[in-house]
Structure 1
Amino acid sequence: MKFKLEKLPLYLAYLVAFALGMKQMREPDIWWQILSGQWMLEHGAITRADMFSYTMQGTPWTNVKWLYEIFIAGLVNMLGPHGLVLLQAIVNVVIVLLIGKTAKFIARYFGKEARYSAIAIVALAFLAIVEYRMASRPEMFSHLFCALYLYLFWKNPDLKWRGLIWLVPLQCLWANMHEGYPVGVVMIGVFAAGSFLSYLLSKEKDALQQAMRVSITLVASILVILLNPNTIVLWKQPFEIYRQVWANKYTTELYSWSQAEYWTIQAKAHIGLLVLALVYWGVQIAGIIKSKRINPVLAGYLLLVPAMGYLSLTANRNIPFAQIVLFPSIVLLLTDVAGRLAKGNAEKQTRNAAIAVSLIAAIFYISIVNNSYYKATDSVNRFGAHVNMLHNPTGASAFIKDNKLQGPAFSDYFISSYLLWDLYPQFKSYIDLRDLDIFPASFFDNYMELHEHPEKFYSLDSQYNFNYVVVSTGQLVGMQRLLYWGKGYNLVYVDPVSAVFLKTNEVNRSVNENLSIQRLFTWPQEPDEPGWATAITKLMNPMNEYEEEDERYTSIQSAMFYNQVQNYPLAVKLLKQDLGSFDGEALGYSTLSSIYKDFAEHTPDATQKARRLDTAAMYSQMALEAE
């Protein structure tokens, strides 16, 4: 009974890891990656040139993730897109399992025993810091390989061949799964450097032999990267990635520590733990060096901590790699602190610690599955194996498909991915999330100018002769306003996620004149969910509901859209006629207050302006009273 109680915190940490993987599908990258894998399965060939956009058709494409994309395409064929959510949840658990075992290995090296409660509490902190990258993205495999490499080195502290040899095929697999594969080479290289450092300190023959074995493994791991469809290109790819990091001004995940956007709450917590680990090892290292004998794996690990710390400063998305490496250090630090503070009955203290950490883990789990954790951290993520219809253009895609709209279509950066997956080859993108792998920086710059100069759309239209425009309602708002009020395009579909503007030409006359299919605003239909996904979600939280997707929010969402295109009378009308549905709720009143404020700002008549500001103040007060 005692043994089970002691392990309970760790089991609950695994459950938390699984729950954090069960995020609603909202990452737009997912969809083009599935499509790419499906294309390769269907054609029995690797994607080597762009075939998904019409602007860069035929551009050479070094698709590093080709094997990952084939893998997830097969998974989706069996389980549907929701299978990626399950995959992420499982990978999360395996990562925590591996780094927890690694922490035990390191503690035992120092003659200590890392308690399950210590591993569990550090695991909970680790998960809270890195969960923002645990979103069914391909980098999950880079995180997994990073944890596995660290585990394999500490499981094999004598660096024998039977342990090292596994790194070579793993490096080959990693290089064909995700562009994070250089991290593996760096890890092996750092452990090789640590082995030579160990030899320089000890002058022992065994240390030299160990250093040579790791060095040979390093060379083999570099050579084996060539076993991929892109061959020697992957040797150059790390430099290309480095170039893209500096050139890519469009993706927030690439912000470095020198930019304000880097400093999220997770980044601040990460830096705090990094400093703690560096200080801890700074205190310990004097004694280690004084002994003139240091295990090669420990030497490598001591070099790896600052190396990964530096990597995490270069881009926000690299924080999970550093956290994986830091995990055992924080467990060891906590073990030392607990040992110094321990007094009295050790068995009772172990039991109390297990109960306390289990309680924390249980609260964390509940806060995840009821979404209070995500709301408290201002995250857009929500719990559930579910395709979020407020983050994916399911409605616009169905409209384009049902009405057989033909391209070329202007599509924004974010919306294209889902449309490619659902409509290709009927739909090809203008720009999409394959970023600088396909689209040059100059093309991105021209696209980004549309945010400040929406009128430049017309020069693009004259160049590409768009037949329709499909955009996220939250993107290129100025351009949407221009198309809504200007001539040449007709708003034929809009929902909370996307808007479709159809060119007014002879080809589109039947759709443009068919008022029966055009509504002021549409609420997208609920997507079909596989039974297994619903079952797991309900098992983890029987009360789970996708409340934000409730159709009763139609009037609020429609009013917000027409407010942003500056049709204020219509925005007011749509919300007022349904305000009774939100009687006593702050959301309806606060939205109406915001609309009247915007309406007033664009009212030239002073009397009317004052009246509308008074109305805005009235609804603002009603919102405050309703809160």
Structure 2
Amino acid sequence: MSKSGRNFQTQFESVTDYLTDKLSYAAAPVLQVTLIALVLALILLQNLQVDPDLFARVAVGRLVEIYGGVVTRDPFSYLQTVDVWYDHEWLAGVFFYHIAAAWGDYGLFIFKLALAWITIFFLIRSAELYTDFRPSAYLLPAVGVFGYASVWGTTVRARVFTYLFLALLIYGAALFKKKRDTRLLCLLPPTMFLWANCHGGFVVGLFFIGVFAVADLIENHSRAWPLFAALAACTAATFINPYGLGYTLYIFQAVGMNRIDIPEWRPPALLSLEMIVPLTFAAISAYSLIRRRISLEGTILVLVTGYQAFSHARLVPLFMFTVIVFGASGAQTLLKEIWTRKPRLRIVFVRAFSASVFALLLCALIRVCLDLSRPDSFSLDYRDYPVNALEWLRNERSGGNVLVDFNIGSYALWRLYPLYKISVDGRYEEVYSADTVRSAMELLDPNTPKLAERIAHSPADFILLKTNSEMHRRRDLYGSDWVVSHQDENFSILEKRDTETSPVPGRELPVPEIWRPLF
């Protein structure tokens, strides 16, 4: 290469390095927030599965519209249910029903995505209050996006309200703790009213604000009274519900219930891919605790949520969100140590990030816009649900009791009520005793002794089975009286009849009709 060519290359590299250096500092917060939002949207677009419990929530919203209030006895099951049905997600059901009725699948997904974005926004704002270097507040949300995105994986669960309101509560309490700003504290009681009627996770919010109050009392003594006032007002707000005091007592009893039969309440598999990010966050929090880079309230909350996360898989997100807020300063310190020892690594990393982030953002933006710009053709994934089988049942039979799997019950009650009643669904302790659920599930287990005798004494008129299940292959265990009336690629319906008929295929059901019930 000639001397002039080498000079041009050197000048070009200098200009490029200068621009990337400027971009890395001037635009870092905007770029990182945009990148987090787009990557989160991309991840959620890869999983369009419908949550098994969504349909029961939507059904409750429909009942509230019909009756003008909540119902206290379950109308959907033919089995014995609890005397009083305390639905701790009834208001979430109202939101979901009206969104589904108006905008269908697209509306439900956009609603979930919007709540996810707002949640992360408040977590980042809270993290900024706990670090003296603003860009470090974006580090853990950016690094952990592939881990915590799964909490919004299926569309859509009532617990999205717990994540949203918890993030808002943390920000309000942190704003007071760091700047003695009481403006957001005034919003916490009405927020708690909504939270208590949308999801039982509001007890987590009461615990968090209690920890903030105690920590502030220890550090600032009498100046902590606004937090205690907010805690008292938030506690009082939980009593404003359609069920009265009994609802609050039920929720606090439910907190201690043994849910070991439900996979998400078991300890997480530490060696699974899903735990890579939570374990990384655990390491960062341990480093932060050792270096004393976490506040008193942060120390308590990280330790408590960490213990709960590694005891119950469902609570892992709470731990990750806590570390995002209180681990920002520790992550900043860790990076400083690395950059001090490897200064050249820092320069290379920052420049590589700045040079590549625009291309990544552009690609992500194009993909998200393409996927979300066609609401009429947008559809969630219903492959795990008996769409055609239940459509056949609605059109070819006049009613009865349907024995269904635990995870299918919610969809079945939404599509079949009031012509049919189902055995059990995912509402579990809200509606059924553990013995009721266990007995119903045993009727779908080919290893259950005397299955033919037990099904004969069951009120079931129809049995819904997955076509590829062992129970379907061994359906003769039910006895000769039970025959296949319908069978498609994924599901079959068994019916107690005198003479066997040939299986009748169900017609294809357009997806938008799924949100139009019979009641």
Work out whether the TM-score is over 0.5: yes
Given that 2:81 and 2:432 are in contact with CA atoms closer than 8 Å, whether structure 1 keeps it comes out as no
Alignment counterpart, residue 172 of structure 2, candidates 140, 152, 156: 152
Q: 1:182 aligns with which of 189, 203, 214?
A: 203
SS at match of 2:486: strand
Is 1:463 the counterpart of 2:457 in the alignment? Answer: yes
Partner amino acid, structure 2, of 1:303? I
Give the Cα separation in 2 of the matches to 1:271 and 1:240.
Answer: 31
Measure how far apart 1:175 and its partner are: 0.6
Corresponding residue number in structure 1 for 2:510:
527
Label 1:344 to 1:479 Cα distance change in 2 as closer, same or farther (>3 A): closer
Q: How does 1:118-517 map to 2 (within 5 A)?
A: 119=138, 121-134=139-152, 135=154, 136-156=156-176, 157-198=178-219, 207-244=220-257, 246=258, 248-256=259-267, 261=269, 264-284=272-292, 298-340=295-337, 341=339, 343=343, 350-356=350-356, 385-450=378-443, 451=445, 453-454=447-448, 456-473=450-467, 477-478=470-471, 481-483=474-476, 486-505=479-498, 513=501, 515=502
Task: Answer whether contact 1:194 1:301 (CA < 8 A) is retained.
Answer: no
**Hey, what does 1:88 align to over in structure 2?**
112
Counterpart residue identity of residue 305, structure 1: V
Cα deviation code 1:556-576 (max 9, x no counterpart): xxxxxxxxxxxxxxxxxxxxx
Shift of 1:81: 4.0
Q: For residue 165 of structure 1, what is the amino acid of its counterpart?
A: C
What does the per-residue CA deviation read over 1:143-175, in whole Å, with 9 as the maximum and x for residues that have no partner?
A: 111111122222332444333222111112111
Gap change, CA 1:36 and 1:169, over 3 Å in 2: same
Which residue in 1 is equivalent to 2:34?
Answer: 11
5+ residue gaps, structure 1: 199-206, 289-297, 372-383, 531-627
Percent identity of equivalent pairs: 18
**C-alpha displacement of 1:60:** 1.6
TM-score of the two chains, using structure 2 as the length reference:
0.82
Contact persistence 1:26–1:392 (CA under 8 A): no
| Cα drift, residue 69 of structure 1 | 0.7
Task: Using the TM superposition, give the Cα deviation of residue 122 of structure 1 relative to its aligned residue in structure 2, in angstroms.
Answer: 2.5
- Mapped to 2, the partners of 1:315 and 1:370 lie a distance apart of 37
Seen in structure 2, the aligned counterparts of structure 1 residues 458 and 365 have a Cα distance that, compared at 3 Å, is: farther
- What is the DSSP-based 3-state SS (H/G/I as helix, E as strand, rest coil) of the residue aligned with 1:493? strand
- Cα distance in structure 2, aligned partners of 1:456 and 1:323: 47
Q: Distance in 2 between matches of 1:124 and 1:526?
A: 40
Q: Displacement of 1:43 after TM fit? A: 1.4
Which string of whole-angstrom CA distances, capped at 9 and with x for unpartnered residues, describes residues 93-114 of structure 1?
1122221222222213xxx232
8 A Cα contact 2:298 2:326, kept in partner: no
Contact 1:82 1:386 in 2 (8 A): yes
Q: Look up the equivalent residue of 2:34 and give its one-letter code.
A: Y
SS in structure 1 at match of 2:122: helix
Instruction: Say how many residue pairs are matched.
Output: 477
Corresponding residue for 1:37?
61
Query: 2: CA distance between counterparts of 1:149 and 1:129?
Result: 22
Which one-letter code corresponds to 1:254 in the other structure? W
Instruction: Name the Cα RMSD after superposition.
Output: 3.3
How far is 1:137 from its partner? 0.9
Given the superposition, is the C-alpha separation of residues 364 and 277 from structure 1 closer, same or farther in structure 2, using an over 3 Å criterion?
farther
Write the distance in 1 (CA, Å) between the matches of 2:222 and 2:473.
67
Provide the rounded CA distance (Å) in 1 between the counterparts of 2:387 and 2:431: 25
Paired residues of 1:414 and 1:432 also in contact (CA < 8 A): yes
Q: 1 or 2 for the larger relative contact order (CA 8 Å, sep ≥6)?
A: 2
Aligned partners of 1:501, 1:480: CA distance in 2, in Å? 12
Cα pair distance change 1:388/1:161, threshold 3 Å: closer
* Distance 1:433-1:175 versus aligned 2 partners, 3 A rule: same
Equivalent positions of 1:18-57 (< 5 A) are 18-22=41-45, 23-56=47-80
Deviation at 1:274, TM superposition (A): 1.6
**Counterpart code for 1:53:** S
Contact kept? 2:144, 2:277, Cα under 8 Å: no
Amino acid at match of 1:152: G
1:602 maps to which residue? none
User: AA paired with 1:473?
Assistant: T
1:284 match: secondary structure: coil
Change (3 A) 1:323 1:194: same
- State the one-letter code of the partner of 2:237: V
* Structure-1 separation of matches of 2:88 and 2:58: 14
Counterparts of 1:14 and 1:440 in 2: how far apart (Å)?
41
Using structure 1 for the length normalisation, give the TM-score: 0.69
